[in-house]
Amino acid sequence: MSTQNTLYIAEPIFSEKLQKFDSDSSFPPIKKIGITTDHPERRERELLGTMSPVKVAIVKAWTAIDARKIESLLHTVLDNTRLDGEYFWDGNETLIDAVSEFIESYHPEAQEIIISDDSDVRAATEAAQKKNSQRIYTEVVPKLESLSIEHSVTKNGKGVRFKLGEYQFHIGGKTGGRYTATIWSRTKSTEQALAQFPFAQECSANSTDDSPRIARIPMSKLETIMESITHFVESQNG
């Protein structure tokens, strides 16, 4: 199988070495969409770097496609979530599935390359996911239940989703003791969200008008996010 012109999605995670200094840390929900003319596993080793404190795992890769054209299209579509260069915010942890479904639907000629996980990358990933899942159930879920908010934990255990009126919420991405809450709505504006949820901020200056992602409470203590949610719930009940 040719590995030329390969599209890949990578997921940065903290290394085990870094977690020794802060066992409460996990990498925020960020994905890298790039291309390589080398085999993805060799590219992954380049991204890892022997001295880097961050491990970067390639989780999906496809060849036998015009990878450069598809990469450019994906970067354009996802521009409102771009953090820097090829790195994108994936607050609701759906980017990998969305890109996979897009390629399966519109590029059936694509050949997926199976990635063999490096043992230390796999161990660090599993450790981070386990800690995230435990925190979601022990920290976030009880607070939502105390407000009688129906919710669902994401399938990877990294976050929790729920609905508040005409808003959709996702809480996840704990890093250094802080979470990020992302707010979506098809009917409410960013200005309305900022008014109804204290501490909320506009997502980015380049968000598109048709994006349902309208605001977020970034890298905040859980108490701050819950205070914002409680304010909205009480305003609706009062």
82-84 and 6-14 as β-strands: parallel, antiparallel, unpaired?
unpaired
> Can you give the pLDDT at residue 74?
95
Token couple for 37: 């003319």
Residue type, 169: F
DSSP line for 88-157? EE-TTS-HHHHHHHHHHHH-TT-EEPPPPPPHHHHHHHHHHHHHHHHHIIIIIHHHHHHTT--EEE-TTS
Over residues 95-152, the pLDDT tens digits come to 988 899 899 999 999 999 887 665 555 655 565 566 666 788 889 999 999 999 999 9
CA distance 10 to 48: 11
Mean pLDDT of 159-164: 92
Domains and CATH numbers, the chain: 6-124 (no CATH), 128-237 (3.30.1460)
pTM of the complete model: 0.54
pLDDT at 230 over 90: yes
pLDDT of 51 reads 44
pLDDT for the residue 152: 92
